[in-house]
Amino acid sequence: MKRKLALLFTILLSLPSWANVDLIKVDKSKRRMYLLDGDQVIKEFRIALGKQPKGHKVKEGDQRTPEGLYVLDHILEESRYYRSVNISYPNAQDRENARRFNVNPGGNIKIHGLKNGETKSANFIQSFDWTDGCIALTNQEMDEFIELIDLGTPIEIYW
């Protein structure tokens, strides 16, 4: 409990009091996620992606992280991974593209921490792409991320 309070206090002191995350940008090519207030980046995270990161997610199982504009729509505290925030993939366009190719677009795309019970270091986990299409942070960063964002925040994912 003391550790969580200390982390929250550190987060709050490290951001300007006026900071309000109104957009999240994910640059897949740089493996970076940026939290923005207007045009100003107020926080940057190093991320891991799906095992096949280049290109837009087309179908379930392609191990790609989708590209496009989505929103963060709910938080899962009970998950196989340390905390998870759901991304609203697939959107109407994704479903239409999947229908056109007669494939399942997949879903269940999250921003999450490490797999529960995982003990590898943050540097190891973030040194390669290992998810099935999600965006991964360290557990500590996941705590910080959840404190900084609101549900309904748009997220733009691009290469």
The tokens for 36 are: 């923005």
Active site residue ranges:
112, 134
- Say how far apart CA 139 and CA 116 lie, in whole Å: 10
> Looking at the chain, which runs of residues are DSSP E strands?
23-27, 32-37, 40-46, 68-76, 84-87, 110-112, 135-136, 154-158
Amino acid 111 reads: I
Q: State the Cα–Cα distance between residues 81 and 108, nearest whole angstrom.
A: 12
Nearest partner of 110 among 74, 141, 86, judged by Cα: 86
Other beta carbons less than 10 A from residue 117's beta carbon: 7
- DSSP 8-class letter at 73: E
